[in-house]
Amino acid sequence: MNIGQASAASGVSAKMLRYYEEIGLLPKAARTEAGYRVYSAKDVNTLRFIRRARDLGLSIERIKLLVGLWQDRERSSADVKRVATEHVAELDAKILELTAMRDTLQELADACHGDHRPDCPILHDFEGGGRSPEHRGTVTKDVRRGKGAAAGLPAGCHAG
């Protein structure tokens, strides 16, 4: 099985296959004399595992952990569960953050008549005078962006 076939069988692009190998998520694939990568049915299983994990938004780092546990017959399910639970917690945090943004913005949009006139509560809020505090404060606390979010959650986030 060459890379194109493994890709088709697993739903992981050839590009990503090479990338996962490069970063050590996958072991280095065997090669033909000509240098073509060769994959087995077992490799395809691993790839499907990875694909499923990515679809659930897990980061590559966590998938590395899970693949390790998966292949360890001595693993304890508690370790697996912990990884999953950590990810759920991050998803929850991100959902809360996005929901707060959404709600604030929806409120502002609702307050905007949306006609030809220039007057607009959205811009008024952004101007940040803070003169209408009832429309502020929702996301104002410094939950702000930072490595945590970018490194932790992503996958589904950068995804598209």
Partner DNA sequence: CCTTGACCCTCCCATGGTGGGAAGCTCCAT
Partner DNA sequence: ATGGAGCTTCCCACCATGGGAGGGTCAAGG
Interaction partner, residue 105 (a copy of itself, DNA, none; CB < 5-8 Å by kind)? a copy of itself
Counting contacts by CB under 8 A, is residue 9 touching a copy of itself? no
Six-digit token string for 3: 């890379």
Tell me which residues in 100-159 interact with a copy of itself (CB under 8 A).
101-102, 104-106, 108-109, 112-120, 122-123, 125-128, 139-140, 144-159
Distance between CA atoms of residues 83 and 87, nearest Å: 6
User: The tokens of 16 are what?
Assistant: 């990503």
32 contact partners, CB below 8 Å, separation of at least 6 = 38
- What are 38's strand-pairing partners? 30
- Name the 3-class secondary structure at 16: helix
Question: Is residue 4 a contact residue for DNA (CB under 7 A)?
Answer: yes
Query: Residue 92, interface with a copy of itself (CB under 8 A)?
Result: yes
Q: What are the counts of helices (DSSP H) followed by strands (DSSP E) for the chain?
A: 7, 2
Q: Which of 10, 54, 66, 87 binds DNA (CB under 7 A)?
A: 54
Lay out the site mask for DNA across 22-41 (x = CB under 7 A, - = otherwise). -------x--xxxxxx----
Tell me which H or E stretch contains 30.
strand 30-31
Residues at the contact surface with DNA, assessed by CB under 7 A: 2-5, 7, 13-16, 18-19, 29, 32-37, 54, 59-61, 145-147, 150-151, 154-155, 158-159
